[in-house]
């Protein structure tokens, strides 16, 4: 169960890539118009056409990253870690107050030629906290979608059944992102706490990759023991921080 009305438009930066295109298909399939964004307008248009072809729906429009970001209130960032800072610096002038960036970036060591089962150390704690630093304070940042396999998203014939952990410092922003993600059949958004938790969630991707290699699988996560109604969460992050009982498992 997720709050609020359906989002009217989502822009996906990096939508020509694995995760971005998988999300494009699933959001489009859920009836959400998608701005399929790329650094190159023609690549964006081709990806949008391909999404239309694969889904049979007219919910996709290809745009250059800057045009897409200027047009949508929710922006998903789905680029490799090496591109995260440069693209955010480039897009910063096109962002406006009240927008929310959903950051799916994982700082895998493969970004610098290392293993995809290892993470790079980030001075600020996580890729999402780095995004927080790079955009103005009146832009929301929510970390999400790190543990969902791009291949599974793109395989529209296969149902999804997994959780998406959300980290962010603003409850309303997290609610909006939960609402967006909850539109995809089989994805359950879960509030994983403030943005400072993002490093832990990002590290789960390395774990998923390790499991995928070991079992030739497409692993995802499902948290057990949670109540049926997850939104809005009953406890705020400040209550958690001040409650000794909250440390019990």
Ligand X SMILES: NC(=O)c1ccc[n+]([C@@H]2O[C@H](COP(=O)([O-])OP(=O)(O)OC[C@H]3O[C@@H](n4cnc5c(N)ncnc54)[C@H](OP(=O)(O)O)[C@@H]3O)[C@@H](O)[C@H]2O)c1
- Tell me if 81 contacts ligand X by CB under 6 A: yes
Q: How many C-beta atoms surround the C-beta of residue 221 within 10 A?
A: 16
- Tell me if 87 contacts ligand X by CB under 6 A: yes
Cβ proximity to ligand X, 88 vs 237, nearer residue: 88
Question: Structure tokens of 189?
Answer: 């958004």
Q: Which stretch binds ligand X (CB under 6 A): 52-60, 75-83, 131-139, 161-169?
A: 75-83
Cβ proximity to ligand X, 209 vs 230, nearer residue: 209
Please list the residues that pair with 189 across neighbouring strands: 164
Residue 136: CB minimum distance to ligand X, A:
20
- Tell me if 146 contacts ligand X by CB under 6 A: yes
Residue 11: CB minimum distance to ligand X, A:
13
Please list the residues that pair with 35 across neighbouring strands: 11, 61
Residue 106: CB minimum distance to ligand X, A:
3
Q: Interior CA angle at 141 toward 46 and 49, to 5°? A: 10
For β-strands 140-143 and 162-168, DSSP reports them as antiparallel
Cis amide bond preceding 193, omega within 30: no
- Tell me if 130 contacts ligand X by CB under 6 A: no
Residues numbered 9-28 forming contacts with ligand X, rule: CB under 6 A: 14, 16-20
**By CB under 6 A, how many residues form the interface with ligand X?**
28
Find the residue with minimal CB distance to ligand X. 17
Handedness of CA 158, 74, 84, 91 (dihedral sign): positive
Q: How far apart are CA 96 and CA 168, in angstroms?
A: 18
User: Which residues in 16-31 are b (16+ Cβ under 10 Å) and which e?
Assistant: bbebbbbbbbbbbbbe
Among positions 61, 76, 104, 206, the unique one binding ligand X when judged by CB under 6 A: 104
- Rounded to the nearest 10°, the torsion over CA 75, 147, 86, 63 is -40
Residue 22: CB minimum distance to ligand X, A:
7
Q: Which stretch binds ligand X (CB under 6 A): 51-59, 67-75, 140-148, 170-178?
A: 140-148
- Tell me if 199 contacts ligand X by CB under 6 A: no
Q: Which residues bind ligand X (CB under 6 A)?
A: 14, 16-20, 38-40, 43, 78-83, 86-87, 104-106, 108, 145-146, 148-150, 205
């Amino acid at each position: 169960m997720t709050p609020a009305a359906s989002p009217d438009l989502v822009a996906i930066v990096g939508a020509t890539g694995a995760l971005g295109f998988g999300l494009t298909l699933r959001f489009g399939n859920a009836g959400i118009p998608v701005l399929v964004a790329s650094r190159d307008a023609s690549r964006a248009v081709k990806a949008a056409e391909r999404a239309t072809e694969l889904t049979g729906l007219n919910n996709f429009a290809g745009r250059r990253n800057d045009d897409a970001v200027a047009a949508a209130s929710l922006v998903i960032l789905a680029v490799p870690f090496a591109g995260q800072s440069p693209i955010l610096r480039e897009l910063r002038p096109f962002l406006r107050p009240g927008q929310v960036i959903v950051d799916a970036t994982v700082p895998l060591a493969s970004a610098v030629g290392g293993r995809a089962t290892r993470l790079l150390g980030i001075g600020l704690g996580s890729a999402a906290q780095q995004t927080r630093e790079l955009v103005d304070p009146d832009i929301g940042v929510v970390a999400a979608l790190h543990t969902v396999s791009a291949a599974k998203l793109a395989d529209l014939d296969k149902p999804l059944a997994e959780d998406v952990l959300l980290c962010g410092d603003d409850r309303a922003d997290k609610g909006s992102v939960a609402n967006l993600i909850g539109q995809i059949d089989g994805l359950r958004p879960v509030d994983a706490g403030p943005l400072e938790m993002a490093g832990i969630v990002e590290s789960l991707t390395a774990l998923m990759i390790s499991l995928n290699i070991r079992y030739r699988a497409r692993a995802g996560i499902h948290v057990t023991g949670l109540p049926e109604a997850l939104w809005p969460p009953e406890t705020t992050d400040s209550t958690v921080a001040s409650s000794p009982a909250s440390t019990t498992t």
